[in-house]
Amino acid sequence: MNRDTTPIDTILPPRRPSRSGSGRTLGLPTDLLQRARRRAEVLGILGLGGFLLGFVGGIVAGDPGLETERVKLAFNLSGAVCSSILWIAARWSRISVGMLIDIALAVEFVLALQISLYAAWYLYESSGGRVLPYITWVEVIVILFPLMLPMPPRRALLGAILAGSTRPGAVIALDAFGAIAVGSDQVVLSFVSPTIAVLISFVCARMVYGLGIEVERARRMGSYHLVARLGLGGMGEVWRARHRMLARPAAIKLIRNEAPDGTPMDRSGSVRARFEQEAQATASLRSPHTVELYDFGVTDDGTFYYVMELLDGYDLNRLVKEFGPVPPERAIHFLRQLTHSLGEAHDRGLVHRDIKPANLVTCRYGSDVDFLKVLDFGLVKAKNRIERGDPELTVGEIAGGTPGFMAPEQFLGNRPPDGRTDLYAAGCVGYWLLTGRMVFEGETPMDIMVQHAKTPPVPPSERTEQDVPPDLEAVLLSCLEKEPERRPADAAELRRRLEACAAAGAWTEERARRWWEAHAPAAVDG
Protein backbone atom coordinates (compact mmCIF):
# COMPACT_ATOMS: atom_id res chain seq x y z
CA MET A 1 0.00 0.00 0.00
CA ASN A 2 2.67 2.48 1.01
CA ARG A 3 4.65 3.00 -2.13
CA ASP A 4 7.73 4.37 -0.44
CA THR A 5 8.22 5.11 3.22
CA THR A 6 11.42 7.05 2.61
CA PRO A 7 11.05 9.69 -0.10
CA ILE A 8 13.47 12.49 -0.77
CA ASP A 9 12.83 14.21 2.53
CA THR A 10 15.60 15.34 4.85
CA ILE A 11 18.08 15.98 2.07
CA LEU A 12 21.27 17.84 2.96
CA PRO A 13 23.91 19.45 0.75
CA PRO A 14 26.55 17.01 -0.47
CA ARG A 15 29.87 16.66 1.28
CA ARG A 16 33.01 17.77 -0.50
CA PRO A 17 34.50 14.76 -2.29
CA SER A 18 37.70 13.34 -0.87
CA ARG A 19 40.88 13.93 -2.84
CA SER A 20 44.49 13.08 -2.50
CA GLY A 21 46.88 15.68 -1.22
CA SER A 22 48.12 16.43 -4.73
CA GLY A 23 44.62 16.85 -6.08
CA ARG A 24 44.52 13.37 -7.62
CA THR A 25 41.33 11.46 -6.89
CA LEU A 26 41.67 7.83 -5.91
CA GLY A 27 38.81 6.82 -8.20
CA LEU A 28 36.76 5.40 -5.32
CA PRO A 29 33.29 6.31 -4.00
CA THR A 30 33.27 8.99 -1.33
CA ASP A 31 31.71 6.76 1.31
CA LEU A 32 34.42 4.13 0.78
CA LEU A 33 37.09 6.79 1.15
CA GLN A 34 35.50 7.96 4.37
CA ARG A 35 35.45 4.35 5.52
CA ALA A 36 39.19 4.20 4.76
CA ARG A 37 39.67 7.17 7.07
CA ARG A 38 37.89 5.35 9.88
CA ARG A 39 39.95 2.22 9.25
CA ALA A 40 43.18 4.22 9.37
CA GLU A 41 42.03 5.56 12.69
CA VAL A 42 41.44 2.00 13.90
CA LEU A 43 44.91 0.96 12.73
CA GLY A 44 46.43 3.85 14.61
CA ILE A 45 44.51 3.03 17.80
CA LEU A 46 45.42 -0.67 17.63
CA GLY A 47 49.09 0.11 17.09
CA LEU A 48 49.15 2.75 19.80
CA GLY A 49 47.44 0.44 22.28
CA GLY A 50 49.72 -2.51 21.49
CA PHE A 51 52.97 -0.56 21.75
CA LEU A 52 51.92 1.24 24.94
CA LEU A 53 50.99 -2.09 26.48
CA GLY A 54 54.44 -3.41 25.59
CA PHE A 55 56.08 -0.28 27.00
CA VAL A 56 54.21 -0.45 30.30
CA GLY A 57 54.82 -4.20 30.54
CA GLY A 58 58.54 -3.62 29.99
CA ILE A 59 58.67 -1.08 32.81
CA VAL A 60 56.73 -3.30 35.22
CA ALA A 61 58.38 -6.66 34.50
CA GLY A 62 61.67 -5.77 32.83
CA ASP A 63 65.10 -5.10 34.24
CA PRO A 64 66.17 -1.56 33.23
CA GLY A 65 69.78 -2.55 33.78
CA LEU A 66 69.74 -4.92 30.82
CA GLU A 67 70.54 -3.50 27.40
CA THR A 68 67.91 -5.70 25.74
CA GLU A 69 65.20 -4.30 28.02
CA ARG A 70 66.25 -0.71 27.34
CA VAL A 71 66.10 -1.36 23.61
CA LYS A 72 62.69 -3.00 24.05
CA LEU A 73 61.36 0.08 25.84
CA ALA A 74 62.74 2.38 23.12
CA PHE A 75 61.23 0.19 20.43
CA ASN A 76 57.74 0.22 22.00
CA LEU A 77 57.88 3.96 22.63
CA SER A 78 58.88 4.76 19.05
CA GLY A 79 56.17 2.40 17.75
CA ALA A 80 53.59 4.20 19.86
CA VAL A 81 54.73 7.54 18.43
CA CYS A 82 54.35 6.28 14.83
CA SER A 83 50.90 4.83 15.55
CA SER A 84 49.77 8.06 17.19
CA ILE A 85 50.83 9.99 14.07
CA LEU A 86 48.57 7.77 11.95
CA TRP A 87 45.70 8.14 14.41
CA ILE A 88 46.02 11.95 14.53
CA ALA A 89 46.22 12.17 10.74
CA ALA A 90 43.07 10.05 10.39
CA ARG A 91 41.25 12.29 12.89
CA TRP A 92 42.34 15.52 11.22
CA SER A 93 39.64 16.33 8.67
CA ARG A 94 41.84 18.84 6.81
CA ILE A 95 44.06 15.98 5.68
CA SER A 96 42.50 14.43 2.58
CA VAL A 97 42.09 10.69 2.29
CA GLY A 98 44.70 10.55 -0.47
CA MET A 99 47.27 12.29 1.74
CA LEU A 100 46.24 10.04 4.62
CA ILE A 101 47.07 7.00 2.47
CA ASP A 102 50.54 8.46 1.83
CA ILE A 103 51.02 9.01 5.57
CA ALA A 104 49.86 5.46 6.27
CA LEU A 105 52.39 4.06 3.78
CA ALA A 106 55.15 6.09 5.44
CA VAL A 107 54.07 4.81 8.87
CA GLU A 108 53.99 1.28 7.47
CA PHE A 109 57.59 1.61 6.32
CA VAL A 110 58.87 3.14 9.57
CA LEU A 111 57.10 0.53 11.71
CA ALA A 112 58.41 -2.26 9.51
CA LEU A 113 61.95 -0.88 9.79
CA GLN A 114 61.73 -0.65 13.57
CA ILE A 115 60.30 -4.14 13.89
CA SER A 116 62.89 -5.62 11.53
CA LEU A 117 65.83 -4.06 13.39
CA TYR A 118 64.47 -4.88 16.82
CA ALA A 119 63.35 -8.44 16.03
CA ALA A 120 66.64 -9.44 14.37
CA TRP A 121 68.84 -7.92 17.07
CA TYR A 122 66.68 -8.95 20.08
CA LEU A 123 66.25 -12.59 19.04
CA TYR A 124 69.91 -12.84 18.09
CA GLU A 125 70.98 -11.53 21.51
CA SER A 126 68.41 -13.60 23.43
CA SER A 127 69.48 -16.84 21.73
CA GLY A 128 73.16 -16.28 22.24
CA GLY A 129 73.84 -15.52 18.59
CA ARG A 130 72.28 -18.69 17.21
CA VAL A 131 68.79 -17.72 15.92
CA LEU A 132 67.25 -15.12 13.61
CA PRO A 133 63.46 -14.76 13.21
CA TYR A 134 61.84 -16.58 10.28
CA ILE A 135 58.71 -14.43 10.46
CA THR A 136 57.89 -11.21 12.27
CA TRP A 137 55.08 -8.65 12.58
CA VAL A 138 56.44 -7.03 9.42
CA GLU A 139 54.68 -9.61 7.26
CA VAL A 140 51.42 -8.97 9.12
CA ILE A 141 51.71 -5.23 8.58
CA VAL A 142 52.54 -5.66 4.88
CA ILE A 143 49.36 -7.69 4.35
CA LEU A 144 47.10 -5.76 6.75
CA PHE A 145 47.56 -2.22 5.43
CA PRO A 146 46.18 -2.76 1.88
CA LEU A 147 43.33 -4.83 3.33
CA MET A 148 42.30 -2.02 5.65
CA LEU A 149 43.06 0.92 3.37
CA PRO A 150 41.86 0.80 -0.26
CA MET A 151 44.49 2.29 -2.55
CA PRO A 152 45.71 1.88 -6.14
CA PRO A 153 47.52 -1.47 -6.43
CA ARG A 154 50.76 0.11 -7.64
CA ARG A 155 50.96 2.35 -4.60
CA ALA A 156 50.15 -0.60 -2.36
CA LEU A 157 52.83 -2.71 -4.09
CA LEU A 158 55.44 0.04 -3.69
CA GLY A 159 54.61 0.40 -0.02
CA ALA A 160 54.68 -3.38 0.50
CA ILE A 161 58.07 -3.73 -1.24
CA LEU A 162 59.60 -0.92 0.82
CA ALA A 163 58.19 -2.32 4.06
CA GLY A 164 59.04 -5.93 3.21
CA SER A 165 62.61 -5.03 2.20
CA THR A 166 63.32 -3.87 5.73
CA ARG A 167 63.59 -7.51 6.85
CA PRO A 168 66.66 -8.45 4.77
CA GLY A 169 67.86 -4.85 4.91
CA ALA A 170 67.94 -4.92 8.71
CA VAL A 171 69.84 -8.22 8.77
CA ILE A 172 72.45 -6.93 6.28
CA ALA A 173 72.81 -3.57 8.09
CA LEU A 174 73.16 -5.14 11.55
CA ASP A 175 75.72 -7.59 10.22
CA ALA A 176 77.69 -4.79 8.54
CA PHE A 177 77.87 -2.76 11.76
CA GLY A 178 78.86 -5.79 13.80
CA ALA A 179 75.68 -5.95 15.90
CA ILE A 180 75.08 -9.51 14.69
CA ALA A 181 77.09 -12.08 12.72
CA VAL A 182 75.19 -14.11 10.11
CA GLY A 183 75.93 -16.27 7.11
CA SER A 184 74.73 -15.83 3.55
CA ASP A 185 72.14 -18.58 4.01
CA GLN A 186 70.42 -16.60 6.79
CA VAL A 187 70.41 -13.47 4.63
CA VAL A 188 68.72 -15.42 1.84
CA LEU A 189 66.15 -16.86 4.27
CA SER A 190 65.27 -13.34 5.45
CA PHE A 191 63.91 -12.63 1.93
CA VAL A 192 61.44 -15.55 1.88
CA SER A 193 58.57 -14.57 4.18
CA PRO A 194 58.60 -10.83 3.21
CA THR A 195 58.46 -11.78 -0.48
CA ILE A 196 55.45 -14.00 0.13
CA ALA A 197 53.80 -11.23 2.17
CA VAL A 198 54.40 -8.69 -0.61
CA LEU A 199 52.75 -10.97 -3.19
CA ILE A 200 49.76 -11.57 -0.92
CA SER A 201 49.57 -7.85 -0.22
CA PHE A 202 49.45 -7.01 -3.94
CA VAL A 203 46.69 -9.53 -4.58
CA CYS A 204 44.70 -8.14 -1.65
CA ALA A 205 45.20 -4.57 -2.84
CA ARG A 206 43.95 -5.43 -6.33
CA MET A 207 40.87 -7.15 -4.93
CA VAL A 208 39.95 -4.37 -2.49
CA TYR A 209 40.62 -1.57 -4.98
CA GLY A 210 38.90 -3.47 -7.80
CA LEU A 211 35.74 -3.90 -5.73
CA GLY A 212 35.77 -0.18 -4.98
CA ILE A 213 36.09 0.67 -8.68
CA GLU A 214 33.21 -1.68 -9.51
CA VAL A 215 31.05 0.08 -6.93
CA GLU A 216 32.06 3.44 -8.39
CA ARG A 217 31.10 2.38 -11.90
CA ALA A 218 27.84 0.84 -10.74
CA ARG A 219 26.90 4.13 -9.10
CA ARG A 220 27.19 6.18 -12.27
CA MET A 221 23.74 7.13 -13.51
CA GLY A 222 24.29 8.79 -16.84
CA SER A 223 26.12 12.06 -16.11
CA TYR A 224 25.51 11.72 -12.38
CA HIS A 225 27.51 9.97 -9.71
CA LEU A 226 25.87 8.54 -6.59
CA VAL A 227 27.63 9.86 -3.50
CA ALA A 228 25.70 8.61 -0.46
CA ARG A 229 22.39 6.87 0.16
CA LEU A 230 19.84 9.07 1.92
CA GLY A 231 16.97 6.63 2.32
CA LEU A 232 15.56 3.21 1.54
CA GLY A 233 11.90 2.49 0.89
CA GLY A 234 9.57 -0.20 -0.30
CA MET A 235 10.08 0.46 -4.01
CA GLY A 236 13.48 2.09 -4.26
CA GLU A 237 16.29 4.16 -2.83
CA VAL A 238 17.18 7.84 -2.66
CA TRP A 239 20.80 8.94 -3.13
CA ARG A 240 22.67 12.19 -2.84
CA ALA A 241 24.39 12.69 -6.20
CA ARG A 242 26.56 15.10 -8.10
CA HIS A 243 26.93 15.87 -11.77
CA ARG A 244 30.28 14.78 -13.14
CA MET A 245 30.86 18.08 -14.97
CA LEU A 246 28.59 20.64 -13.30
CA ALA A 247 28.77 21.84 -9.70
CA ARG A 248 25.03 21.32 -9.21
CA PRO A 249 24.12 18.76 -6.53
CA ALA A 250 21.10 16.53 -7.03
CA ALA A 251 19.00 13.79 -5.51
CA ILE A 252 18.42 10.58 -7.44
CA LYS A 253 15.59 8.19 -6.74
CA LEU A 254 16.09 4.65 -7.99
CA ILE A 255 12.95 2.66 -8.77
CA ARG A 256 13.55 -1.07 -8.62
CA ASN A 257 12.55 -3.24 -11.55
CA GLU A 258 10.81 -5.70 -9.26
CA ALA A 259 8.06 -5.51 -6.67
CA PRO A 260 8.79 -5.84 -2.93
CA ASP A 261 7.87 -9.53 -3.10
CA GLY A 262 10.56 -10.10 -5.73
CA THR A 263 8.27 -10.50 -8.76
CA PRO A 264 9.29 -8.59 -11.91
CA MET A 265 7.37 -5.36 -12.50
CA ASP A 266 7.94 -5.16 -16.22
CA ARG A 267 7.58 -8.15 -18.51
CA SER A 268 6.18 -6.46 -21.60
CA GLY A 269 7.70 -2.97 -21.50
CA SER A 270 4.42 -1.29 -20.48
CA VAL A 271 5.80 -0.12 -17.13
CA ARG A 272 8.80 1.44 -18.85
CA ALA A 273 6.57 3.21 -21.35
CA ARG A 274 4.38 4.58 -18.54
CA PHE A 275 7.46 5.65 -16.61
CA GLU A 276 8.82 7.61 -19.55
CA GLN A 277 5.45 9.18 -20.31
CA GLU A 278 4.93 10.26 -16.73
CA ALA A 279 8.50 11.54 -16.34
CA GLN A 280 8.05 13.73 -19.40
CA ALA A 281 4.79 15.08 -17.99
CA THR A 282 6.38 15.77 -14.60
CA ALA A 283 9.31 17.55 -16.23
CA SER A 284 6.83 19.84 -17.97
CA LEU A 285 5.44 21.12 -14.64
CA ARG A 286 6.63 24.64 -13.92
CA SER A 287 5.15 25.40 -10.51
CA PRO A 288 7.99 26.46 -8.20
CA HIS A 289 6.34 24.31 -5.54
CA THR A 290 6.81 21.12 -7.55
CA VAL A 291 10.20 19.49 -7.18
CA GLU A 292 12.25 20.12 -10.30
CA LEU A 293 13.08 17.09 -12.41
CA TYR A 294 16.49 17.32 -14.09
CA ASP A 295 16.69 13.97 -15.83
CA PHE A 296 15.38 10.42 -15.91
CA GLY A 297 16.42 7.15 -17.43
CA VAL A 298 16.74 3.39 -17.18
CA THR A 299 19.96 1.59 -16.31
CA ASP A 300 21.20 -1.53 -18.09
CA ASP A 301 19.70 -3.74 -15.37
CA GLY A 302 16.26 -2.19 -15.79
CA THR A 303 16.32 0.17 -12.80
CA PHE A 304 14.36 3.39 -13.37
CA TYR A 305 15.82 6.57 -11.94
CA TYR A 306 14.78 10.19 -11.47
CA VAL A 307 17.29 13.01 -11.01
CA MET A 308 15.81 15.86 -8.99
CA GLU A 309 16.88 19.00 -7.21
CA LEU A 310 18.48 18.54 -3.81
CA LEU A 311 16.46 20.16 -1.02
CA ASP A 312 17.63 21.51 2.31
CA GLY A 313 14.88 21.35 4.89
CA TYR A 314 12.31 19.24 6.71
CA ASP A 315 9.53 17.11 5.36
CA LEU A 316 6.25 17.88 7.14
CA ASN A 317 6.22 14.48 8.82
CA ARG A 318 9.58 15.13 10.47
CA LEU A 319 8.71 18.79 11.10
CA VAL A 320 5.69 17.94 13.26
CA LYS A 321 7.36 15.00 15.00
CA GLU A 322 10.38 17.10 16.02
CA PHE A 323 8.76 20.47 16.73
CA GLY A 324 5.09 19.68 17.36
CA PRO A 325 1.94 20.87 15.57
CA VAL A 326 2.24 24.13 13.66
CA PRO A 327 0.04 27.19 14.28
CA PRO A 328 -3.02 27.53 12.04
CA GLU A 329 -1.54 30.40 10.04
CA ARG A 330 1.53 28.33 9.17
CA ALA A 331 -0.67 25.37 8.19
CA ILE A 332 -2.54 27.68 5.81
CA HIS A 333 0.81 28.89 4.44
CA PHE A 334 1.84 25.33 3.61
CA LEU A 335 -1.52 24.28 2.18
CA ARG A 336 -1.72 27.31 -0.12
CA GLN A 337 1.65 26.39 -1.62
CA LEU A 338 0.48 22.79 -1.98
CA THR A 339 -2.58 23.89 -3.96
CA HIS A 340 -0.33 25.90 -6.29
CA SER A 341 1.54 22.71 -7.25
CA LEU A 342 -1.57 20.55 -7.40
CA GLY A 343 -3.50 23.08 -9.47
CA GLU A 344 -1.03 23.01 -12.36
CA ALA A 345 -0.68 19.22 -12.20
CA HIS A 346 -4.43 18.64 -12.24
CA ASP A 347 -4.83 20.99 -15.18
CA ARG A 348 -2.39 18.72 -17.06
CA GLY A 349 -4.29 15.57 -16.11
CA LEU A 350 -1.82 14.43 -13.46
CA VAL A 351 -3.05 13.11 -10.12
CA HIS A 352 -0.42 12.70 -7.45
CA ARG A 353 -2.34 10.06 -5.44
CA ASP A 354 0.24 9.95 -2.64
CA ILE A 355 0.07 13.36 -1.02
CA LYS A 356 1.31 12.91 2.55
CA PRO A 357 3.54 14.85 4.98
CA ALA A 358 6.62 12.83 4.05
CA ASN A 359 6.22 13.90 0.41
CA LEU A 360 6.05 17.62 1.27
CA VAL A 361 9.28 19.43 2.16
CA THR A 362 9.58 22.89 3.63
CA CYS A 363 12.98 24.23 2.78
CA ARG A 364 15.30 27.11 2.06
CA TYR A 365 14.87 27.98 -1.60
CA GLY A 366 17.18 30.74 -2.71
CA SER A 367 16.54 33.60 -0.29
CA ASP A 368 13.12 32.23 0.70
CA VAL A 369 12.41 30.08 3.74
CA ASP A 370 9.41 27.90 4.57
CA PHE A 371 9.14 27.26 0.84
CA LEU A 372 7.10 24.11 0.18
CA LYS A 373 8.10 21.52 -2.41
CA VAL A 374 5.91 18.60 -3.51
CA LEU A 375 7.88 15.41 -4.17
CA ASP A 376 7.33 12.19 -6.14
CA PHE A 377 4.85 13.78 -8.52
CA GLY A 378 3.43 11.23 -10.90
CA LEU A 379 5.52 8.25 -9.74
CA VAL A 380 2.52 6.37 -8.39
CA LYS A 381 0.54 7.03 -11.49
CA ALA A 382 3.50 6.13 -13.66
CA LYS A 383 3.56 2.64 -12.23
CA ASN A 384 -0.09 2.21 -11.28
CA ARG A 385 -2.15 4.09 -13.84
CA ILE A 386 -5.74 2.87 -13.71
CA GLU A 387 -6.87 1.78 -17.11
CA ARG A 388 -9.95 -0.38 -17.07
CA GLY A 389 -9.41 -3.67 -18.80
CA ASP A 390 -5.64 -3.59 -18.36
CA PRO A 391 -4.79 -7.22 -17.43
CA GLU A 392 -1.35 -6.23 -16.16
CA LEU A 393 -2.67 -4.27 -13.17
CA THR A 394 -3.12 -5.96 -9.80
CA VAL A 395 -5.37 -5.00 -6.93
CA GLY A 396 -2.33 -3.77 -5.06
CA GLU A 397 -1.39 -1.52 -7.94
CA ILE A 398 -4.87 0.00 -8.22
CA ALA A 399 -4.90 0.86 -4.51
CA GLY A 400 -1.58 2.72 -4.60
CA GLY A 401 -1.15 5.24 -1.81
CA THR A 402 -0.64 5.58 1.93
CA PRO A 403 -3.59 4.38 4.08
CA GLY A 404 -3.54 7.31 6.52
CA PHE A 405 -3.92 9.82 3.66
CA MET A 406 -5.98 7.92 1.08
CA ALA A 407 -9.35 9.06 -0.20
CA PRO A 408 -12.12 6.41 -0.03
CA GLU A 409 -12.32 6.05 -3.80
CA GLN A 410 -8.66 5.02 -3.98
CA PHE A 411 -9.22 1.69 -2.28
CA LEU A 412 -12.95 1.19 -2.92
CA GLY A 413 -12.35 1.36 -6.66
CA ASN A 414 -15.88 2.73 -7.24
CA ARG A 415 -14.66 5.66 -9.33
CA PRO A 416 -11.36 6.70 -10.93
CA PRO A 417 -9.27 9.10 -8.83
CA ASP A 418 -9.17 12.72 -9.96
CA GLY A 419 -7.90 15.99 -8.56
CA ARG A 420 -10.34 15.84 -5.65
CA THR A 421 -8.54 12.67 -4.51
CA ASP A 422 -5.46 14.79 -3.86
CA LEU A 423 -7.59 17.42 -2.10
CA TYR A 424 -8.79 14.77 0.34
CA ALA A 425 -5.16 13.98 1.10
CA ALA A 426 -4.46 17.72 1.47
CA GLY A 427 -7.17 17.81 4.15
CA CYS A 428 -5.42 14.92 5.92
CA VAL A 429 -2.13 16.81 5.73
CA GLY A 430 -3.72 19.94 7.24
CA TYR A 431 -5.21 17.80 10.01
CA TRP A 432 -1.73 16.38 10.75
CA LEU A 433 -0.15 19.83 10.80
CA LEU A 434 -2.64 21.16 13.36
CA THR A 435 -2.91 18.10 15.63
CA GLY A 436 0.18 15.95 15.08
CA ARG A 437 -2.20 13.03 14.53
CA MET A 438 -3.72 11.34 11.50
CA VAL A 439 -7.41 11.73 10.81
CA PHE A 440 -7.99 8.05 11.48
CA GLU A 441 -5.79 5.65 13.38
CA GLY A 442 -6.00 1.87 13.61
CA GLU A 443 -4.03 -1.29 14.26
CA THR A 444 -3.93 -2.29 10.59
CA PRO A 445 -4.05 -0.45 7.25
CA MET A 446 -7.43 -2.06 6.60
CA ASP A 447 -8.83 -0.60 9.84
CA ILE A 448 -7.73 2.85 8.74
CA MET A 449 -9.15 2.49 5.23
CA VAL A 450 -12.52 1.31 6.57
CA GLN A 451 -12.71 4.41 8.76
CA HIS A 452 -11.85 6.64 5.79
CA ALA A 453 -14.75 5.06 3.93
CA LYS A 454 -17.40 5.07 6.69
CA THR A 455 -16.47 7.08 9.79
CA PRO A 456 -17.01 10.86 10.03
CA PRO A 457 -13.78 12.57 11.08
CA VAL A 458 -13.46 14.09 14.53
CA PRO A 459 -12.95 17.88 14.10
CA PRO A 460 -9.26 18.77 14.58
CA SER A 461 -10.15 21.29 17.29
CA GLU A 462 -11.21 18.37 19.52
CA ARG A 463 -7.86 16.59 19.13
CA THR A 464 -5.40 19.38 19.87
CA GLU A 465 -4.74 21.82 22.68
CA GLN A 466 -4.16 24.77 20.36
CA ASP A 467 -7.04 26.89 19.10
CA VAL A 468 -8.17 25.93 15.60
CA PRO A 469 -10.11 28.71 13.86
CA PRO A 470 -13.62 27.55 12.88
CA ASP A 471 -13.23 28.78 9.31
CA LEU A 472 -10.01 26.77 8.78
CA GLU A 473 -11.57 23.72 10.43
CA ALA A 474 -14.54 23.97 8.07
CA VAL A 475 -12.21 24.06 5.05
CA LEU A 476 -10.35 20.95 6.19
CA LEU A 477 -13.55 19.04 6.96
CA SER A 478 -14.87 19.91 3.50
CA CYS A 479 -11.77 18.28 2.02
CA LEU A 480 -12.47 15.16 4.11
CA GLU A 481 -15.94 14.56 2.71
CA LYS A 482 -16.47 10.92 1.69
CA GLU A 483 -18.08 11.88 -1.63
CA PRO A 484 -15.77 13.74 -4.02
CA GLU A 485 -18.69 15.95 -5.17
CA ARG A 486 -18.89 17.50 -1.70
CA ARG A 487 -15.21 18.47 -1.57
CA PRO A 488 -13.80 21.66 -3.12
CA ALA A 489 -14.16 21.38 -6.87
CA ASP A 490 -10.48 21.89 -7.59
CA ALA A 491 -7.22 23.17 -6.13
CA ALA A 492 -8.02 26.76 -7.09
CA GLU A 493 -11.24 26.68 -5.08
CA LEU A 494 -9.44 25.19 -2.09
CA ARG A 495 -6.83 27.94 -2.31
CA ARG A 496 -9.57 30.62 -2.38
CA ARG A 497 -11.18 29.10 0.73
CA LEU A 498 -7.85 29.04 2.53
CA GLU A 499 -7.12 32.65 1.59
CA ALA A 500 -10.54 33.65 2.94
CA CYS A 501 -9.64 32.33 6.43
CA ALA A 502 -8.99 35.03 9.02
CA ALA A 503 -5.55 33.61 9.84
CA ALA A 504 -4.37 33.67 6.22
CA GLY A 505 -1.33 35.89 5.82
CA ALA A 506 -0.53 35.97 9.55
CA TRP A 507 2.49 33.72 8.98
CA THR A 508 4.81 36.41 7.69
CA GLU A 509 8.25 36.10 6.12
CA GLU A 510 9.74 37.62 9.27
CA ARG A 511 8.13 34.96 11.48
CA ALA A 512 9.23 32.22 9.12
CA ARG A 513 12.82 33.49 9.09
CA ARG A 514 12.91 33.71 12.89
CA TRP A 515 11.75 30.10 13.10
CA TRP A 516 14.44 28.93 10.69
CA GLU A 517 17.13 30.93 12.49
CA ALA A 518 16.12 29.21 15.74
CA HIS A 519 15.80 25.67 14.43
CA ALA A 520 18.01 25.50 11.34
CA PRO A 521 20.62 28.31 11.46
CA ALA A 522 22.61 26.96 8.50
CA ALA A 523 19.52 27.02 6.30
CA VAL A 524 19.24 30.83 6.30
CA ASP A 525 22.93 31.64 5.90
CA GLY A 526 23.27 34.16 3.16
User: Is 354 one of the catalytic residues?
Assistant: yes
What secondary structure, in 3-state letters, does 404-466 show?
HHCCHHHHHCCCCCCHHHHHHHHHHHHHHHHHCCCCCCCCCHHHHHHHHHHCCCCCHHHHCCC
How far apart, in whole angstroms, are the C-alpha atoms of residue 425 and residue 434?
A: 14
Which residues, at least 6 apart from 162, have a Cβ–Cβ distance to it below 8 Å? 105, 109, 112
Q: Label the pairing between strands 224-232 and 220-221.
A: antiparallel
Residue-by-residue DSSP string for 481-518: -SSGGGS-SSHHHHHHHHHTSTTTT-S-HHHHHHHHHH
> What gap in Å lies between CA 497 and CA 423, rounded to an integer?
13
Cross-strand pairs, 307:
252, 295
Q: Give the residue from 90, 111, 103 showing the smallest Cα distance to 42.
A: 90
Q: Please, are residues 476 and 459 in contact by the beta-carbon 8 Å criterion?
A: no
For residue 220, the SS3 value is strand
Q: DSSP characters for 140-200?
A: HHHHHHHHHS---HHHHHHHHHHHHTHHHHHHHHHHHTTS----HHHHHHHHHHHHHHHHH
For 191, phi then psi, to 5°, come to: -85, -20
Q: Return all residues near 154 (Cβ < 8 A) that are at least 6 apart.
A: none
With contact defined as beta carbons under 8 Å apart, do 440 and 455 qualify?
yes
Residue 7 DSSP code: -
Exactly one of 9, 315, 354, 490 is catalytic; name it.
354
> Terminal CA-to-CA distance of the chain, rounded, Å?
41
What number of CA atoms fall less than 13 Å from residue 357's CA on the CB side? 23
Which residues carry out catalysis? 354
